[in-house]
Amino acid sequence: MKLVRYGPKGAEKPGLIDAAGNLRDLSGEIDDIGGDVLSPDGLDRLRALDPESLPNVDGTPRLGPCVAGVSKIIAIGLNYVDHAAEVGAKLPKEPIVFMKATTSLSGPDDPIEIPRGSVQTDWEVELAVIIGTRAKYVTEATAMDHVAGYATANDVSERDFQLRRSGQWVKGKSHDSFCPLGPWLVTADEVPDPQALKIWSDLNGERQQDSSTEQLHFGVAQIVSHLSEFMTLLPGDVIVTGTPSGVGMGQEPPRFLRPGDVLEMEVEGLGRQRQVCEAAS
């Protein structure tokens, strides 16, 4: 299934995309895409519905982040072999973990805000993992049982804030609009191998990143199991798994986002995003 949240910011409704690509309203069946809805039983209940019996949503409404009730956004750094090489870093022995504020969540086509004082706002297309059931001290063998599905994400990063403003990376990762998520939450049964997906990004129509999740240094099961050693993962939690080479910081000379720039990006099968950059008000 492809699950979506549509409508004005802060007032999104749940929906799904049917086999013909039409948006169907789920608000008569569930309150939102989150919580118990993401459990195996909750998803099975949605699968049992006849999409044609659901109201069709006319037009092209705004899409919000594809999951609600997110308690935390956890990100993995330097997790692509090609990206580590482009920034001159060694591959880590275990996942590098940092957090993004939940207020950074935005819809897949919402504008990206260039923060006040920013000089190095950068893009990072990533595979996002959406947790479906509580996970604490889970093994790699059972980790995938806790995954509801996947989405395209953009781990927008202000490199100057991230690397030279002291403290943890979170300063450069958490501005409003710095985590566009969606358009869809694609359930895990439709993504048999999350480590075999094409992943790319374009800036102003020019290809920047062009890789595959085959390049992931730590795979999804490893990441979920590892994180569950240090924190309890809850339904709706979002894990962004790292970005391939082609980010602005890794180019020569470096290239960063400016108001008016247009980003497009996609993870194979998970839908495309498009964001226009604008100065933060």
The structural domains of the chain, ordered by start, are: 2-53 (no CATH), 73-279 (3.90.850.10)
* Tokens 């980790």, located at residue: 143
239-269 tens-digit pLDDT: 999 999 999 999 999 999 999 999 999 999 9
**3 state DSSP class of 161:** helix
Q: What is the distance, to the nearest Å, from the Cα of residue 128 to the centroid of all Cα atoms in its chain?
A: 4
Q: Which residues contact 52 (CB under 8 A, 6 or more apart)?
A: 18
- Locate 49 and state its tokens: 């519905």
CA–CA distance, 242 with 76 (Å, rounded to integer):
5
44-54 tens-digit pLDDT: 999 999 999 99
- Locate 22 and state its tokens: 């039409």
Cβ burial, residue 281 (10 Å; 0-12/13-18/19+): exposed
Residue ranges in 3-122 assigned as alpha helix (H): 40-47, 81-86
Cross-strand partners of 201: 209, 265
- Locate 237 and state its tokens: 């939690």
CA–CA distance, 136 with 235 (Å, rounded to integer):
12
pTM for this predicted structure: 0.96
CA–CA distance, 252 with 242 (Å, rounded to integer):
21
- Locate 274 and state its tokens: 């498009």
If you count DSSP H runs as helices and E runs as strands, how many of each does the chain have, helices first?
5, 18
Residue among 215, 42, 236, 35 at smallest CA distance from 129: 236
- Locate 138 and state its tokens: 């889970």
Q: Using alpha carbons only, how large is the chain's radius of gyration in Å?
A: 18
136-165 tens-digit pLDDT: 999 999 999 999 999 999 999 999 999 888
218-244 tens-digit pLDDT: 999 999 999 999 999 999 999 999 999
54-70 tens-digit pLDDT: 999 999 999 999 999 99
Q: What is the predicted pLDDT for the residue at 81?
A: 85
